[in-house]
Amino acid sequence: MKKKIIGYTSGVYDLFHIGHLNLLKNAKGLCDKLIVGVSTDELVSYKNKEAVIPHLERMEIVRSIKFVDVVVPQEDMDKFKMWERLKFDVMFVGDDWFETPKWKELEDKFESVGVKIVYFPYTKGISSTKINETLNFIRSK
């Protein structure tokens, strides 16, 4: 029997948009079971940001996507800690992290336990940050 491939990705998933959907759809295409970590409000604020949509609602939105099998809270930036908990086989991440010092180090760490990291290209022209900036601009008028 062929081993099922467990995939993992994580994010804030605030102001859900087509880029989020593309990532989840592409990730699911490369694994049998896709687990998605959704950053808690506390973790988002640690990054000096604030989510527009509360954590539990963001988790429910992501849980409702047909490509997602399991949703878990992401309470820590440490991806390896999450692997220790979930034992996934492949991790999916945006290509803006490709070849950064942090992710080169993570690649080495994950390689030692047989986890592959797949970088997906960002969907051009869309991001939650851009949406937030536009909303803030409109509100300021």
Would you please indicate which residues are annotated as catalytic (active-site) residues?
47, 49
Neighbouring C-beta atoms of residue 141, cutoff 10 Å: 4
- Three-state SS annotation for 87-107: CCCEEEEEHHHCCCHHHHHHH
Distance, in Å, from the CA atom of 124 to the CA atom of 115, rounded to the nearest integer, reads 28
Reading the block at residue 69, the tokens are 């099998």
Report how far apart, in Å, the C-alpha atoms of 109 and of each of 58, 80, 95, 97 are. 29, 8, 18, 16
The answer to whether 103 and 66 have CB atoms below 8 angstroms apart is no
